[in-house]
Amino acid sequence: MLDLIGRLTWEKLLERVRDAAWNDATSDDILASNERRIRKRVDAGKLRSREKAIAQFYLSLIHWRMTGVFEAPWKNLTEARIQFWEGERFCSITEFQAKLAEAMADQFPKMEIFRKYDSIFKSIPSSASRIRDLRDSDLQTFHTPGATGTLIAFSTATNDCLGSSWTMFYQAVAEPAGMNLVVLKDFNRRLFMKGIRSLGSKKSTLHTLRSLVETYSEDTEVIFLGASGGTFGALAYAAQIPEIRRVVALSGPTSLELGGENEDKVVYKAILEEVGEGSLDYVDIIRAVRTSSLKRIDFFVSGHNDFDMAQMNHLRENTEVVVPHIYNTDHHSMTDLCVADGRLLRAVKGEDLTPIDLC
C-alpha cells in the first residue's frame, strides 16, 4: 500500500494525467510519458484496488487518444463503476465516455445507470463543445457563441444535474438550445438558503444573481433551472428577481414539511431546526411564487415517486403557473428520459408545451 507521501504523489500524478488527457493539444509524446508513469505505479504493486481501476481507466483513455482504438478497461462491475464515475467527475471527454457507457450498458444490461448515460450520450450532437465541470467551483459559466438565452442553474446536493454532470447537460441541452449556462453549487448543503459559499451570505448571493440577470438580460432571455434540491433554491431566488419569468424544475422540494419518511428528511430536519433557532430564514415557496413575476414553471417529475409527486402537486395545487411533465418511472432522476425525448430541450427553449402524464 502507498504511504502518505506515496499517496500524495499519486494524486499529483492523477491531476497531471487528467489535465493532459482532457486537453486536445496534448502531444503523443506527453501522453506516452504519462502512460509510462502510470504503468510504473501499477507494476510496483502498491496501488489499492480502486487506484488500480482508475489507473486502468487512464491507460485505456491514453491508448484511445493515441490510436483511436477503444479497449474496455474493467475486469468486473465494481471496476466499471469506479471508472465510469472517474471519467464523469474528473475527465469528461464526451467521445470516450460515450464509448465507455455504450460498452458498459452492453456488458452490464441490468445496470440502469449505464443505460441512462448511454441514452444521454446518444443525444449529444457530434459538434458539442469540449468543456469541463470544475468540481471544486461553486460558480461556473459556460458561454455559447451567439446565445439567445441564459440558464442559471441550481445544482443538486451532490453538485450535479440530477444524475448527470453539468458538462453533459450543457452538451445535450444548453448548447443545442443556444443558451449560456451559469452553474451554482451549494457547498453549504442548505438548499441555497445560506447562499453560495464563494459569494458570501444569502443577501450577497441574491445581489450577485440580480447583477448576472441584469447583465445577461441585455442580450438574452434569462431563466432559472433547479435540479432536485436546487429546485428549492431556483424558485426561492427567482421569486425575488422580477426579470425572471420562467423556471424549469427537475424534481425537487417545494416544501420541507412534506414527505417526512423520505431519505432527505435528515437534511430537511436540520434546516428546519436552524430556522427554529433563528440562524436561517425559511422561504415559503408558495407565497413567494404567488407574489412573484413568474409566469411558467415547467416541472419534470417521476410519476411513480410519491415524494416527488407530492412536492410537485403542492406547488401545482396552490399556484397557477405549473406545467407538469410526468414520466413513467419511480426514480428521482428522470433526466435521461426528458433529454432523450427532447422535451427538456424544448422547455428550456421556451416552447409552449402542454402538460403530459406518461403514467
Indicate if 116 and 185 belong to the same structural domain: no
359, part of any domain: no
Indicate if 98 and 236 belong to the same structural domain: no
Indicate if 99 and 157 belong to the same structural domain: no
pLDDT of residue 280 exceeding 70: yes
Enter the DSSP assignment of 198. G
For residue 80, the model assigns a pLDDT of 95
292, part of any domain: yes
133, part of any domain: no
pLDDT of residue 293 exceeding 60: yes
Q: What is the pLDDT of residues 5-23, one digit of tens each?
A: 455 588 888 899 989 998 8
Indicate if 339 and 230 belong to the same structural domain: yes
Given 62, 89, 121, which residue is the final one in a domain? 121
298, part of any domain: yes
* CATH code where residue 180 lies: 3.40.50.1820
Strands 296-302 and 179-184: unpaired
Give every CB contact of residue 221 below 8 A, 6+ residues apart in sequence: 148, 149, 150, 246, 350
The neighbouring-strand residues paired with 356 are: 325
pLDDT of residue 4 exceeding 70: no
C-alpha closest to that of 308 among 284, 285, 325, 283: 325
Per-residue b or e along 319-331, where b marks 16 or more CB atoms closer than 10 Å to that residue's CB: bebbbbbbbebeb
**Rg of the chain over all Cα atoms, to the nearest angstrom:** 21
Indicate if 239 and 315 belong to the same structural domain: yes
Indicate if 113 and 152 belong to the same structural domain: no
Indicate if 42 and 86 belong to the same structural domain: yes
pTM of the model: 0.88
- What value does the mean pLDDT take over residues 71-82? 95
Asked if 223 and 152 touch (Cβ cutoff 8 Å), the reply is yes
For residue 2, the model assigns a pLDDT of 46
Indicate if 227 and 310 belong to the same structural domain: yes
Indicate if 208 and 330 belong to the same structural domain: yes
C-alpha closest to that of 13 among 246, 33, 3, 43: 33
For residue 7, the model assigns a pLDDT of 56
Q: What is the pLDDT of residues 304-325, one digit of tens each?
A: 999 999 999 999 999 999 999 9
Q: Look up residue 134 and give its three cell numbers.
A: 470544475
Indicate if 78 and 216 belong to the same structural domain: no
Asked if 141 and 149 touch (Cβ cutoff 8 Å), the reply is no
Q: What is the pLDDT of residues 252-266, one digit of tens each?
A: 999 988 865 556 677
pLDDT of residue 131 exceeding 70: yes
Asked if 94 and 74 touch (Cβ cutoff 8 Å), the reply is no
The total of structural domains in the chain comes to 2
Q: Which of 59-73, 249-263, 286-300 has the lowest mean pLDDT?
A: 249-263
Q: What is the DSSP string of 110-179?
A: T-HHHHHHHHHHTTS-TT-------TT-SEEEE--TT-SEEEEEE--TTSSBTTB-HHHHIIIIITTTTE
- Residue range of the domain that includes 229: 139-350
Indicate if 191 and 268 belong to the same structural domain: yes
134, part of any domain: no
Q: For the chain, what is the mean pLDDT?
A: 91
72, part of any domain: yes
